[in-house]
């Protein structure tokens, strides 16, 4: 009977637990920042371009995700990996910019009325919920890829990709709706 390969394709529970713990801490911090933190009242720090920058970063992430999907379907692994690293980079920059924006300016309020209002909040709630779900999934998917656990990476990526794409696209839509109803 042949021996098992030396590389374990099982995901270490300690790594997954660590990723989930970091993701939970990040989500708790963002919840506090958005709903409880008082914006900084520092003169000269009105960086009003940050929401637009966030939309650009989400758009770039969306493009990178779609390029990554195209490359993996063409079995271009290196190009796929590069596109996914780009998507991760844009999402990471978005997170830094999002934190800075909320720390300085607080939460934006939607001023739309009528039928658009429940549509906006349904979109926003789904965006927020799935962004909390996406963070550990993205980190676990990257961990699996970087540690050579490709079969598990593929399984998880099938769920991670559409959630990450939805969060990126709806982030841009939320920004556009906020901008349209100022």
pLDDT, residue 41, reads 64
What's the CA dihedral at 158, 164, 165, 167 to 10 degrees?
150
Could you tell me the domains of the chain? Answer: 45-180 (1.20.120.80)
Residues in Cβ contact with 158 at an 8 Å cutoff, skipping those fewer than 6 apart: none
Closest CA to 58 of 168, 179, 176: 168
pLDDT, residue 46, reads 72
pLDDT, residue 4, reads 47
Q: With beta carbons less than 8 A apart as the criterion, state whether 87 and 164 touch.
A: yes
pLDDT, residue 106, reads 84
pLDDT, residue 35, reads 87
Q: pLDDT (tens digit, 9 = 90+) per residue, 83-102?
A: 999 999 999 999 999 999 98
pLDDT, residue 49, reads 93
Closest CA to 68 of 49, 89, 55, 87: 87
- Euclidean distance between CA atoms 156 and 138, whole angstroms: 9
Segments in the chain below pLDDT 50: 1-6
- Scan for tokens 């920058």, then name that residue: 53
Q: pLDDT (tens digit, 9 = 90+) per residue, 132-152?
A: 999 999 999 999 999 999 999
pLDDT, residue 5, reads 46
């Amino acid at each position: 009977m042949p021996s098992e390969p030396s590389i374990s394709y099982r995901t270490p529970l300690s790594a997954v637990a660590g990723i989930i713990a970091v993701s939970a801490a990040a989500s708790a911090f963002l919840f506090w920042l958005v709903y409880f933190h008082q914006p900084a009242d520092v003169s000269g720090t009105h960086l009003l371009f940050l929401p637009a920058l966030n939309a650009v970063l989400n758009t770039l992430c969306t493009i990178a995700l779609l390029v990554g999907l195209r490359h993996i379907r063409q079995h271009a692994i290196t190009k796929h990996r590069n596109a996914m690293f780009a998507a991760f980079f844009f999402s990471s920059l978005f997170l830094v910019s999002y934190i800075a924006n909320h720390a300085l300016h607080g939460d934006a309020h939607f001023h739309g009325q009528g039928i658009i209002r429940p549509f906006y909040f349904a979109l926003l709630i789904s965006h927020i919920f799935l962004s909390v779900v996406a963070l550990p999934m993205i980190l676990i998917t990257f961990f699996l890829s970087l540690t050579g656990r490709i079969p598990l990476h593929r399984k998880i990526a099938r769920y991670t990709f559409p959630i990450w794409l939805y969060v990126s696209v709806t982030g841009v839509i939320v920004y556009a709706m906020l901008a349209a109803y100022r």
